[in-house]
Structure 1
Amino acid sequence: MFDFIWIQMFSVMTLMLQLTAAVTEHCDVVVRVGDEVTLSCGNVTDDQDKCNAATWLFSSSSNTTAITVFEHGDIHKNTKTKSHRLSVTANCSLVIRNVSAEDVGQYTCRKFSKSEKIQDRDIPAFLYLVNMTAHKDNNTVTLSCSVLKYGECQYTVKWLYKDEEIDNNAKDFETSQSTCSASVTFTTSHNVYTSENYEVFKCQVRKGKAMQEFPFRNHPLSDQTDQTVLSRLIIVAVGLAALITVAVVVNTWTRAGKKEETNENTVLNENHDGAVNYENVQA
């Protein structure tokens, strides 16, 4: 009797642990814009044939209803313009290439039994995106780092300089922080600007004990002055093209007019000569 009760208790405890694992088995994935990411579908049995018994679902802030990304061994038509960036590995993991803002959200791998009729369990993965920009305004440069999120932001973002946290009282830098974003500003006289070595800055993204650091990638600065000059150059170019077009049209008209005048003079001369000859004949 005691053995029977113990077996029942052990079975219940095992079932509770399995249910707990099924509920808590998820992951947060933080990547940078343009990266490639692989989202795991958990343990997949060897009897999977092209992952026919696995389905990938996607939910975003703009789409509260989950859409199907992968089903019956193929990328679903719901993926539309980003289907060329999606693929599924042999173990049913979802691969997303060149990650962008539209990919941020919750991905769920839904596995079924062999019959593909009974749902086994869902394995969610939350994809977050780190976006970094640089902007030059007169004699200052501002680096910004933000986390594009799904739902409420639970990340703390800060900038590091040479692997050290930037002190808010540092004379060379000015920092600011808000929900899921941070920025650091320095002058163009700083050696970082003159050397163009922005990789000494790192964006640190932290959630609880989990922490990732992303070095800043060098790329052209967004300069309002340069944009203004470019706009003016475009306007000048368009204006010059218009003047050239008008000149060509006027020149064409002028040449056509001269040609018509020449033809008229020729006709008049011919008529005049004809009249003289006629008078001579009458005489």
Structure 2
Amino acid sequence: MTGIKYLMRVLLLTCLLLIGGRCKKEAVFVYSTLRGDVLLPCANLVSSDCSLISWTFFKVGQVRLTQEVSGGQVRVDSDKFSRMSITSNCSLHLRDLRVDDAGSYVCLDNGNAISDIYVSLLTITSFSTITELQPGGNLTLNCILFTYYDAGSCKSYSSVFNLSFTAEDSTVLPNDNRYKLTGHTRCNITLVANLQREDNNRKWRCQVNTKENRRVAFIDFTSTFLFENPPTAQNRNPSATTDCPVHLPISRIMLCLSLPVMVIIVGLITRGGDHKRAKTSAAGIEPRDSD
């Protein structure tokens, strides 16, 4: 039974390829990000009756062909069932995108393929530890575009787009020795940046640009410092008797100053109480007669 199902899928894929060859339609490329969403249009509809519409999904890297929509309804056995819906114009809306959602989506009207859409997903990952995210440390970011083929695989997409790291406003990073690109391909790039103090809470952007130099998707990473470099001896106040660094928020400075004052007040109160008890005790002692 499994062999029959596999044969049916192969035949269906062959039919789709043949239909696509006759139609000679140009593929549509759609880009989004992990956890994002996409709307895939079912173009050139013969009628507005979505009950005649079906959607299939195929990914070369997984050699998997599935029917996601049948008779205008999302199939309950689809692994995308809870995240997928059909709009009033028969388009496919997919939410909370995952890596496995990258691939080819084909819209069929009464069995005839009319739309072939390739969905690619952009991801960004930091390989830096928390202790490295501080001035003088290195930030290592890896940006991968998951495509119809597989993770970071460009193949025939090589002339369609390119990836790049930019500043938050999409401007090119300066030609500086502290920025270094390693393992650079069109679908997989890594940035190593030597951090400075001004990079705290800074956004680093990876974006997809088409051959028309049009930005179609981007994703940001924020470098937040949890540690600062320890102050040097030159940064300390030589006359200070506490370990309060010079460059502290005003609330911490007030705390450092108030602690000695509180200690003095408590000492005075305690000393006064002891002195009062001593006087009381002395007043209550009567002299004794000698024998």
With over 3 angstroms needed to count, the CA separation of the structure-2 counterparts of 1:25 and 1:174, relative to structure 1, is: closer
In the aligned structure 2, how far is the partner of 1:204 from the partner of 1:122?
30
In the aligned structure 2, how far is the partner of 1:87 from the partner of 1:68?
14
| Equivalent residue, structure 2, for 1:52 | 51
Compute the displacement of 1:107 (Å): 0.2
| Equivalent residue, structure 2, for 1:31 | 32
In the aligned structure 2, how far is the partner of 1:219 from the partner of 1:33?
19
In the aligned structure 1, how far is the partner of 2:78 from the partner of 2:208?
29
Native 8 Å contact 2:37 2:96 kept in 1: yes
Larger displacement relative to structure 2 (93-102 or 55-64): 55-64
Give deviations 1:179-198, integer Å, cap 9, x for gaps: 41112222343411x2x121
| Equivalent residue, structure 1, for 2:193 | 186
Compute the displacement of 1:218 (Å): 3.3
Compute the displacement of 1:214 (Å): 1.3
The code of the aligned residue for 1:39 comes to L
The code of the aligned residue for 1:32 comes to T
Give deviations 1:52-86, integer Å, cap 9, x for gaps: 11110000134424210000122113413x21001
Could you tell me which runs of 5 or more consecutive residues in structure 1 were left unpaired when the two chains were aligned.
1-18, 113-118, 222-283
In the aligned structure 1, how far is the partner of 2:114 from the partner of 2:63?
17
Compute the displacement of 1:46 (Å): 4.8
| Equivalent residue, structure 2, for 1:133 | 125
In the aligned structure 1, how far is the partner of 2:90 from the partner of 2:224?
39
With over 3 angstroms needed to count, the CA separation of the structure-2 counterparts of 1:65 and 1:187, relative to structure 1, is: closer
Native 8 Å contact 1:34 1:100 kept in 2: yes
| Equivalent residue, structure 1, for 2:4 | none
Could you tell me which runs of 5 or more consecutive residues in structure 2 were left unpaired when the two chains were aligned.
1-19, 226-291
In the aligned structure 2, how far is the partner of 1:84 from the partner of 1:145?
28
In the aligned structure 1, how far is the partner of 2:48 from the partner of 2:128?
56
Match of 1:214 among 213, 218, 243: 218
Q: TM (normalized to structure 2)?
A: 0.58
The code of the aligned residue for 2:189 comes to A
Native 8 Å contact 1:69 1:75 kept in 2: yes
Q: Based on CA coordinates, which of the two structures has the bigger radius of gyration?
A: 1
Compute the displacement of 1:47 (Å): 4.5
The code of the aligned residue for 1:218 comes to T
Query: What pairs up with 1:140-155 in 2 under 5 angstroms?
Result: 140-151=138-149, 153=154, 154=158, 155=161
In the aligned structure 2, how far is the partner of 1:111 from the partner of 1:210?
34
- Aligned residues with identical type, % of pairs: 19
Native 8 Å contact 1:25 1:123 kept in 2: no
The code of the aligned residue for 1:55 comes to S
Native 8 Å contact 2:122 2:219 kept in 1: no
Native 8 Å contact 1:22 1:123 kept in 2: no
Native 8 Å contact 2:205 2:221 kept in 1: no
Native 8 Å contact 1:67 1:78 kept in 2: no
The code of the aligned residue for 2:202 comes to N
Q: Does 1:160 align with 2:163?
A: no
In the aligned structure 2, how far is the partner of 1:171 from the partner of 1:47?
58
In the aligned structure 1, how far is the partner of 2:223 from the partner of 2:97?
18
Q: Does 1:91 align with 2:89?
A: yes
Give deviations 1:179-235, integer Å, cap 9, x for gaps: 41112222343411x2x121xx322323422632514143879xxxxxxxxxxxxxx
In the aligned structure 2, how far is the partner of 1:163 from the partner of 1:47?
40
With over 3 angstroms needed to count, the CA separation of the structure-2 counterparts of 1:188 and 1:145, relative to structure 1, is: same
In the aligned structure 2, how far is the partner of 1:142 from the partner of 1:76?
41
| Equivalent residue, structure 1, for 2:202 | 197
Moved over 4 A (4+): none
With over 3 angstroms needed to count, the CA separation of the structure-2 counterparts of 1:38 and 1:86, relative to structure 1, is: same
Compute the displacement of 1:21 (Å): 9.7
In the aligned structure 1, how far is the partner of 2:62 from the partner of 2:77?
12
The code of the aligned residue for 2:164 comes to K
Compute the displacement of 1:135 (Å): 2.8
RMSD, aligned CA: 2.9
The code of the aligned residue for 1:208 comes to K
Compute the displacement of 1:103 (Å): 0.3
| Equivalent residue, structure 2, for 1:108 | 106
Q: TM (normalized to structure 1)?
A: 0.59
